Amino acid sequence: MKDFNYHSAKDSKEASKLASSSSAFLAGGMTTIPSMKLGLATYKDLIDIKNIKKLSGIKVSGKTVTIGAATKHVEVSNSKDVKKAIPSLSSLAEGIGDPQVRNRGTIGGSIANNDPSADYPSACIALNATIHTNERKIEAAKFFKGMFETALKKGELIEAIEFQIPEKSSYQKHPNPASRYAIVGVYVAKHKGDVNVAVTGAKSCVYNDKEMSKALSGNFSSSSIDGMDLDSSEMNSDMHASANFRASLVVTQAKKAVDAC
Amino acid sequence: MIKSWWVKILIKGEIMGKISLEVNGRKVEKEASDNTLLSTFLREHLQLTGTHIGCDTSQCGACVVHVDGNSLKSCTALAADVNGSKVTTIEGLETNGKMHPMQEAFKKLHGLQCGFCTPGMVMSAVDLLQKNKKPSDTEIRDWLEGNICRCTGYQNIVAAVKEAATKM
């Protein structure tokens, strides 16, 4: 790994002050460190934000669950408050990687990285999340821009993610047997008035499947999306799954999710 | 708190910092470059070579150690990143020359062949039993998701963890 300067920031202000065009924030490091080791990313400065107390913790109010950006996956999966308010969110966290990744990886890191197969971005879309940064609030629908791309500006730090508590929800994924990343993951959330069907792993970026949302908003039953023929032209195709198989998996996982709601 | 130990100096052009850890109950303080991985720090700076490096890409789990009571893959953490923590490696499990019940169980039930994955496997399993005293077969298999063994076929590893659970 190439040389860099390690900094441990004590608050968001210090962290963003240290940030430059050749720096990165370090939370759990579950993607950052392997990427740097493989030479896929190089930074002059790594700014550790794990020790910023304000960035960790879970708050549940009547309508929302707010999770600090540096909160670890294991904390989300073990939280009784999250289990009670949005059980699907805690089971999503429990299905990320392996115990060592969950002991270390953070929700903010996962979202900032926006891996096309990551689990948390689908939760943000399905649960109408608001991403709180040190500068502004961003709606999830406007946050995820493309493969590994987000609306974050240089030096902008995610502080918390605020999820809307749905009436019902479920996340179902077909995991890669080795990495546990989603080959396809579908997060269905029924809110008052509408239904979100957030899909991860299928395309270059997480998205809300409008066709399925519409069908399910009319009739919230897996029969209303049964046999739906999704357009696979923009779907990923690799050694794990062809685009057509992914298109079919999206419907299968969505049906499973609706049935599990 | 961590800051006060963190005196930056430049030696031979490398960016160095002081790493203070408690490793297996012993306080250690060493200079290391900022890009030193915890696995490298343990093996090359402290000569604790029981922690193995297998894939070096955080997949195989041979490098699992405990940091402040939780297991992590030491090839995917910076030494600087865990500065000030308590670290337990495979060398720290024995007491007065007596093997830990998990090590005993792996030995008794042939939970290893070549032994390369074993340090990580044992450290991961010990962490499981700290959190779940009587895990089921499924829970053991789920927990060992991040530890890969290419010899045993896992059956005896699972049996060893179950046996250790009766002794811990």
Same domain, A173 and A149: no
pLDDT at B14: 61
Cβ B81–A29 below 8 Å, yes or no? Answer: yes
Same domain, A88 and A69: yes
Name the phi and psi angles at B10, rounded to 5: -110, 120
Residue B7 has pLDDT above 60, yes or no: no
Last residue in a domain, options A128, A146, A164: A164
Residue A252, domain CATH: 3.30.390.50
pLDDT at B6: 47
What is the overall mean pLDDT for chain B? Answer: 92
When divided into structural domains, chain A yields a total of: 2
**Domain segments of chain B: what residues?**
2-92, 101-167
Residue A151, domain CATH: 3.30.465.10
Best A44, A77, A100 residue to mutate vs chain B (most B CBs within 10 Å)? A100
Last residue in a domain, options A145, A164, A183: A164
Residue B119 has pLDDT above 70, yes or no: yes
Alpha helices in chain A (DSSP H): 12-18, 32-37, 73-78, 80-85, 87-94, 99-102, 107-113, 120-126, 140-143, 210-218, 243-260
Q: Does B55 touch chain A if contact means CB atoms closer than 8 Å?
A: no
pLDDT tens-digit series, residues B49-104: 999 999 999 999 999 999 999 999 999 999 999 999 999 999 999 999 999 999 99
The alpha carbon torsion through A128, A129, A130, A134 (nearest 10 deg) reads -160
Contact A200, A206 (CB under 8 A): yes
Region B130-156: mean pLDDT is 96
Cβ A6–B17 below 8 Å, yes or no? Answer: yes
Within chain A, which residues score under 50 in pLDDT? none
Residue B4 has pLDDT above 60, yes or no: no
Compute how many other C-beta atoms are within 10 angstroms of the C-beta atom of residue A204.
13
Same domain, A152 and A200: no
Same domain, A116 and A18: yes
What is the fold of B101-167?
Answer: DNA polymerase; domain 1 (1.10.150)
Same domain, A70 and A194: no
Last residue in a domain, options A118, A133, A164: A164
Q: What's the pTM?
A: 0.93
Residue B12 has pLDDT above 80, yes or no: no
Predicted interface score ipTM higher than 0.85: yes
Same domain, A239 and A195: yes
Same domain, A197 and A155: no
CATH 3.10.20.30 fits B2-92, yes or no: yes
Residue with tokens 């789920």: B142
pLDDT at B1: 43
How far is the C-alpha of A180 from the C-alpha of A178, rounded, in Å?
6
Same domain, A173 and A133: no
Region B112-135: mean pLDDT is 97
Containing structural domain, residue A31:
5-164
Same domain, A68 and A37: yes
The CA R_g of chain A, rounded to the nearest whole Å, is 18
How far is the C-alpha of A13 from the C-alpha of A54, rounded, in Å?
12
Same domain, A210 and A156: no
Same domain, A95 and A118: yes
Region B95-117: mean pLDDT is 96
Contact map slice: B 121-150 vs A, CB within 8 A: 124, 127-128, 143, 145-147
